[in-house]
Chain A
Amino acid sequence: MSEHTHSEEKHITSYKAYFIVWVVLMVLTFLTVYVSYFDFGQLNIVVAMVVASIKAGAVALFFMHLKFEDPITWLYALFPIGLLFLLIGMTIVDTFTRIFPL
């Protein structure tokens, strides 16, 4: 099983990098709360979700070291998200294309 050892060499992230990510996360949190006080209609949820996804991406990539993981880990990190979109997407397709008689 020596073939695996190379890819599993640990990558150690520096404290400084974590602080930068944390500052970015805090700024984004402040931003999303601030924006929520204005009414942009449907745009609100879009902005909120985009900001949340950037934050989630930062946490996953740096705090969780996904950036340094092998393709298999990437696959299993992304595949459930794809499935989740499928579940949400298709149930929405069903719910909102029903024809109501009367």
Chain B
Amino acid sequence: MEQANMEHAEDHGLHLTPEQEYGISKLGMWLFLGTEIMLFGGLFAAYAIFRAKYPELFLESHQELNREMGAVNTCILIFSSLTMAIGVTAIQRGKQMLAGIMILVTIICGLGFGVVKYFEYGAKFAHHIYPDTNIFFSLYFMMTGLHMLHVFIGLAVLGVIMVLTFKGKFNEKYSTPVEIGGLYWHLVDLVWIYLFPLLYLVG
């Protein structure tokens, strides 16, 4: 305890107990998630307006999207959220190996999501559909593009956390980074939960 405390106090410049640091970091992350909601919010607002303005265009254009691929990606992301959550519980129970493996599975899912997306974008370009094709595709590329960016950031963060987990840096007493990383990853999932029906299903 004293050991851990010293280490993270050094890390932090402040003399905080792991409990305090945990509370601080978690609140900070939730605030940041609020920011993310507003960041995507501008695009959701644009979506709402243009969909209301041009319902036919949206209906027509969304049929160009591959519903199956979208559904597969949704399943991948939801599964990755599950493994991430399990990873968090595992580290809270002190099971470093299980936690590391779960984070690894999460990362693999994230990469899988990226691969599917790569083929989707490729198919669109092959059909000469670009961001400037029409408003629907502008929104499609910007929303999924920004989401993809978040996936990549999440993967980078989780990659670091995974390495540290396997190195045994985290345990039942100190698991803050795993939980914070998890929160971020779940947000990526949350955003996709809305993007999928809006873009692929109802258009």
Interface residues in chain A, defined as those with a beta carbon under 8 Å from any beta carbon in chain B: 1, 4-5, 7-8, 10, 12-15, 18-19, 21-22, 25-26, 29, 32-33, 36, 44-45, 48-49, 51-52, 55-56, 59-60, 62-64, 69, 72-73, 76-77, 79-81, 83-84, 87-88, 91-92, 95-96
Asked if B197 contacts A36 (CB within 8 A), the reply is yes
Asked if B27 contacts A56 (CB within 8 A), the reply is no
Per DSSP, chain B at the interface is: helix
Contact partners of B26 in chain A: CB under 8 A: 69, 73
Asked if B189 contacts A33 (CB within 8 A), the reply is no
Asked if A33 contacts B23 (CB within 8 A), the reply is no
Tell me the chain B residues, 81-100 only, with Cβ under 8 Å from chain A. 81-82, 84-86, 89, 92-93
Asked if A48 contacts B19 (CB within 8 A), the reply is no
Interface residues in chain B, defined as those with a beta carbon under 8 Å from any beta carbon in chain A: 17, 19-20, 22-23, 26-27, 30-31, 33-35, 37-38, 41-42, 44-45, 48-49, 52-53, 67, 71, 74-75, 78-79, 81-82, 84-86, 89, 92-93, 182-183, 186, 189-190, 193-194, 196-198, 201-202
